[in-house]
């Protein structure tokens, strides 16, 4: 399970790890946790430790995004490195996800929008 901080009652921060197998499992477990939560929070996914992703990880992120949209919640991806940012640009997902430079900016933006 990714280390999930319940930053507030309404916001969770998930810090993903770099290793490919862990990343797959963590994204799946995050989705399952969100799906089973009665009052789904807004979610910040911190990518600071993630060096690269494959298409299955992008699919998993899209699943998390879909459940957030379905439940009228927001998802922010924080701290993507240059390689990840290039991947999001190449796939067109830079227009699908909302990115922030760091977790603090994501949290501030979510608090201001409430």
Q: What is the pLDDT of residues 40-79, one digit of tens each?
A: 999 999 999 999 999 999 999 999 999 999 999 999 999 9
Tell me how far apart the alpha carbons of residues 114 and 100 are, in angstroms, rounded to a whole number: 17
Going edge to edge, which strands form the sheet with 11-15?
4-8, 11-15, 42-46, 75-78, 98-100
> Measured between alpha carbons, how far is residue 22 from residues 1, 39, 54, 78, 89 in Å?
8, 26, 13, 18, 24
* pTM for the structure as a whole: 0.93
Residue whose pair of structure tokens reads 């991806």 in the numeric block: 77
Cβ-in-10-Å burial (0-12, 13-18, 19+) of 46 comes to buried
Q: What percent of the chain clears pLDDT 90, i.e. is strictly above it?
A: 82
User: How many domains are contained in the chain?
Assistant: 1
CA–CA separation, 27 vs 111, rounded Å? Answer: 24
Instruction: Give the per-residue pLDDT at 1.
Output: 47
**Mean pLDDT (whole number) for 5-17:** 91
Confidence of residue 2 (pLDDT cuts 50, 70, 90): low
pLDDT value for 114: 66
Mean pLDDT of the chain: 93
What's the CATH code of the domain at 83?
3.30.750.24
- What pLDDT, on the 0 to 100 scale, is given for residue 92? 98
Give the range of the structural domain holding residue 57, as residue numbers without chain letter: 4-113
Q: Does residue 77 sit in helix, strand or coil?
A: strand
């Amino acid at each position: 399970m990714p280390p999930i901080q319940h930053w507030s009652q309404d916001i969770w921060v998930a810090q993903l790890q770099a290793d490919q197998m862990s990343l797959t499992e963590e994204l799946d477990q995050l989705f399952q946790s969100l799906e089973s939560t009665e009052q789904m929070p807004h979610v910040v996914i911190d990518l600071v430790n993630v060096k690269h992703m494959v298409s299955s990880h992008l699919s998993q992120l899209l699943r998390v995004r879909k459940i957030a949209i379905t439940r009228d919640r927001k998802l922010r991806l924080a701290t993507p490195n240059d390689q990840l940012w290039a991947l999001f640009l190449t796939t067109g997902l830079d227009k699908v996800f909302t990115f922030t430079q760091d977790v603090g900016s994501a949290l501030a933006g979510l608090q201001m929008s409430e």
